[in-house]
Chain A
Amino acid sequence: MLDKSATPTRSIYFSEEHEQLRAQVRRFVENEVKPHGLQWEEQGYVPREVLQKMGSLGFLGIRYPAEYGGSEMDTLGTVVLAEELGRSTFGGFAITVLVHTDMASVHIFNAGSPALKDKFMPDVVAGKKIVAVCVTEPFAGSDVKGIRTTARREGNDYVINGSKTFITNGVHADLYCVAAKTDPKAQPSQSVSMLLVEKGNSGLKVARPLDKHGWRSSDTAELHFDNCRVPAENILGQEGRGFYAIMKNFQNERTTIGAMCIGECSAALELTLDWVKSREAFGAPLWSKQAIRQRLAELAGKVEAGRQLVYHAAWLDARGFDATKEVSMVKAYCGELVNEVMYDCVQFHGGLGFMRESAIERMSRDARVQAIGGGATEVMLEEVAKRM
C-alpha cells in the first residue's frame, strides 16, 4: 500500500529532499547560468567561479560521503542534477559539470586509494579541482579495448605514452583519469589500467582545443602523453582492471546523459509551445493547427516515457540491482529522442529556428552528440540485444 499520509511528491521515485534539490538547482540555472551562457559559448568554457559556486552549494558532491563535503544521496539525486542542468538550454555548460561529477571523478572515488581520495576528493566536491576522463583515442572510441596508449612500469613510477582525443574538460581540468595499457601482451580486457595525472605534469600536453558543432561552452581537447611520469600510487584500482572500471562507470555516465537528454527535451518543448501559442499564421496561432499540436503532444508523450525509463533505471541502480540492460536502453532511446524532439522544435520555429539568435538553434546542435558520446546508439543497441 502506498502511504498516502506522507507528503506526496508526484513520483514514486523522489523524496522531498530530491525535490528541494531540484528547486535549488533550477533556481541556480535560471539566475546564474542562463543570463551568462551565451558568453560562455563565445569563450568556449565555463568560468571556474561558477563551478566553485556550485561546489559551495553541494551540487558537485551529491553522492559522495560527508567527510569529503558530499551529501550521500542516491542515483536519483544525480538524475535530478542532470535533468535540471539539461533544462538550462546550454548543453556545453551541463556536460562540463556532469563529466566532472558523474563521469570522471567517479574513477577517483570508486577505485582510488584512501590516500588519493583524501588528497583530492574534498577539492573535487568543492569545485576547486575539475576532473576529466580520458578513454577515447584517435584510433579507438567505441572499442575501448582497442586503445593504444601505454603505461610502462619503471621503478616506483608509471610512464605514459600515447594520445587521447575528444576529452571533455580537457583544456581546463586539474585532474585527468587516463586509461592506458599496462600489459599490452595480456588479453585485451585484462590489459587496461586507470591512472591519475595532475595538470602541470610536464609529460601531459594539451595538444589543441577542439572546435565543435555544439556544446560550445564546454572545453574539449586532444591530449598528448609524452613520457608522462606518475608515481605508482596514482593508479586507480588494481593493475589490469581498468576496462572493468570503465564499463562499470559507464552505467552511471549513461544514466546521467539520459537524464540530461530528458531535461533538454523538456526545455525545447516548453520553448516551442510558447512560440507556437504566440506566433500567428493564416489568421490564428500555430497552436490552433492540429498538425502542430498533435505532433507536440506526441513528442511530450515520448519524452515522458523516456523520463520514466531514466527514473526506473536510476532506481534499479540505487537499489543495487544490475541495470545494464535498462541503462543501455536509456542511452539508446534518449540520445535519439532528443534529436527527434529538436528536429521538430526547430521546424515549428520556422526560419527563426535556423538563426543563431534562437535558443532552439543552439539546442539542436547540442543534441547531436547525445547519440554518439558516452556510447553511440548502435553500440548501446548491441548491449541491449545481447541481453534479449
Chain B
Amino acid sequence: MKVLVAVKRVIDFNVKARVKPDGSGIDLANVKMSMNPFDEIAVEEAIRMKEAGKATEIVAVSVGPQQASETIRTALAMGADRGILVKNDGPVEPLAVAKILKGIVDAEKPNLVILGKQAIDDDSNQTGQMLAALLNWPQGTFASKVAMEADSVSVTREIDGGLQTVKLKLPAIVTTDLRLNEPRYASLPNIMKAKKKPIDEKTPADYGVDVAPRLKVVKTAEPAGRKAGVKVDSVAALVDKLKNEAGVI
C-alpha cells in the first residue's frame, strides 16, 4: 500500500512573523523556515503505518521553491522513502496545490493521501478537502486517530461537539489534527541516509496546472495589540461584567 504525504515549507513556528513595511505581506527574508507542523504529523502517521506493516511506500510531496527540497529531505530523514518536488517560486493557492496533487495521485496511484489540516502560514484549511472533491474520494479531516484496515480506514475526527469516527473506503484522504501523534526526531544517521533517497523534480506544467493566483492580497497588517485586562475580586463581579459590560452571557 502506497501513502502520499504532502509537506509544505512554512515560516518556522518559533519565529515572530513581521509584516513588511509596505504591507504587501510577511517579511520572509532571512527567516527560518521549517516543515508545517501539521505535515510533520502526517509524515509521522505514515511512518507508523509502514512500521506496523500497513504501508509499503511513503512518498513525500512538496509544492514550492527549490528550498522546499529541504522540507522533503526532513520527511525523508524521518522515514519517507522518496520525494517529489513540484517547483514553483511564487505563491500557490490551495486550489492549485490540490490540482497538482491530483495530477500526482493519478500518476502514483496511492491508496491514501495524508495532509495537514492546515498550514500555519495562511491557515487556509482547504487543500485536503479540495483534493478529495477533485478525486471524488472520501475524506476524514481533523484526524486525532487513524486505524487502517484491509480496504478501509477509520478516522476519529475532532469536531466541535467532541469526537466523531468515520469509516472511509480506500483510496481516501486524511488530514491531521495536532493530537494525532507526536512526530519523531530525525536521527543524525537517518539524516545522512536521506541524502541518498531520490527526489524527483517536476513543475506545475507537468500536471497541466496553471498556478496563477485567483485571489489578490489587498493589505497585510499587524494585529492590534491586546489591551490590558482587568482583575475582579469575586465571581459575582465577573458574572456582572460578562453580563452587563461584555454582553456575552
User: Which residues on the A side are within 8 Å of B74 (C-beta)?
Assistant: 20, 23
Q: Provided the pairs A57-B188, A58-B189 are in contact, do residues A20 and B77 lie with their beta carbons within 8 angstroms? A: yes
Q: Provided the pairs A16-B73, A17-B195 are in contact, do residues A23 and B34 lie with their beta carbons within 8 angstroms? A: yes
Q: Is B69 part of the binding interface, using a Cβ–Cβ cutoff of 8 Å?
A: yes
> How far apart are the CA atoms of A23 and B191 in the complex, in Å?
11
The reply to whether B185 and A27 form a contact with Cβ atoms under 8 Å apart is yes
Choose one: A10, A24, A61; the contact of B186 (CB below 8 Å): A24
Within the complex, the shortest CB–CB distance from B187 to chain A, in Å, comes to: 5
Q: Is B234 part of the binding interface, using a Cβ–Cβ cutoff of 8 Å?
A: no
The reply to whether A19 and B185 form a contact with Cβ atoms under 8 Å apart is no
User: Which residues on the A side are within 8 Å of B67 (C-beta)?
Assistant: 7-8
Q: Is A227 part of the binding interface, using a Cβ–Cβ cutoff of 8 Å?
A: no
Q: Is B244 part of the binding interface, using a Cβ–Cβ cutoff of 8 Å?
A: no
> How far apart are the CA atoms of A69 and B190 in the complex, in Å?
11
Q: Is B17 part of the binding interface, using a Cβ–Cβ cutoff of 8 Å?
A: no
User: Which residues on the B side are within 8 Å of A71 (C-beta)?
Assistant: 188-189, 191-192
**Main SS of the interface on chain B?**
helix
- Which of A8, A57, A73 has the most B CB atoms < 10 Å from its CB? A57
- Which of B69, B186, B188 has the most A CB atoms < 10 Å from its CB? B188
Q: Is A59 part of the binding interface, using a Cβ–Cβ cutoff of 8 Å?
A: yes
Choose one: B14, B66, B69, B188; the contact of A21 (CB below 8 Å): B188
Shortest Cβ distance from A15 into B: residue: B195
> How far apart are the CA atoms of A321 and B74 in the complex, in Å?
32
Interface residue total, chain B, C-beta cutoff 8 A = 20
Shortest Cβ distance from A9 into B: residue: B70
The reply to whether B187 and A17 form a contact with Cβ atoms under 8 Å apart is no
The reply to whether B73 and A58 form a contact with Cβ atoms under 8 Å apart is no
> How far apart are the CA atoms of A370 and B73 in the complex, in Å?
36
Choose one: A17, A23, A56, A57; the contact of B192 (CB below 8 Å): A17
Q: Is A28 part of the binding interface, using a Cβ–Cβ cutoff of 8 Å?
A: yes
Q: Is A62 part of the binding interface, using a Cβ–Cβ cutoff of 8 Å?
A: yes
> How far apart are the CA atoms of A11 and B86 in the complex, in Å?
25
The reply to whether B70 and A69 form a contact with Cβ atoms under 8 Å apart is no
Within the complex, the shortest CB–CB distance from B66 to chain A, in Å, comes to: 6
Shortest Cβ distance from B32 into A: residue: A23
Choose one: A21, A61, A66; the contact of B191 (CB below 8 Å): A21
> How far apart are the CA atoms of A71 and B195 in the complex, in Å?
12
User: Which residues on the A side are within 8 Å of B66 (C-beta)?
Assistant: 5, 7
The reply to whether A58 and B34 form a contact with Cβ atoms under 8 Å apart is no
The reply to whether A10 and B30 form a contact with Cβ atoms under 8 Å apart is yes
Instruction: List CB contacts (< 8 Å) of B191-207 with chain A.
Output: 191-192, 194-195
Shortest Cβ distance from B69 into A: residue: A7
- Can you offer 25 A-B residue contacts whose CB atoms are under 8 A? A7-B67, A7-B69, A8-B67, A10-B30, A16-B70, A16-B73, A17-B192, A17-B195, A19-B70, A20-B73, A20-B74, A20-B77, A24-B185, A27-B185, A28-B185, A30-B14, A58-B190, A59-B188, A61-B188, A62-B188, A66-B189, A71-B189, A71-B191, A72-B192, A73-B192
What 10 A-B pairs come out closest when comparing CB atoms? Answer: A58-B188, A57-B187, A71-B188, A58-B187, A20-B191, A58-B189, A71-B192, A24-B185, A57-B185, A24-B186
* 20 further interface pairs, Cβ-Cβ under 8 Å (given A20-B73, A28-B185): A5-B66, A8-B67, A16-B73, A20-B70, A20-B74, A20-B77, A20-B186, A20-B194, A23-B74, A24-B186, A24-B187, A27-B185, A30-B14, A58-B188, A58-B189, A61-B188, A71-B188, A72-B192, A73-B188, A73-B192
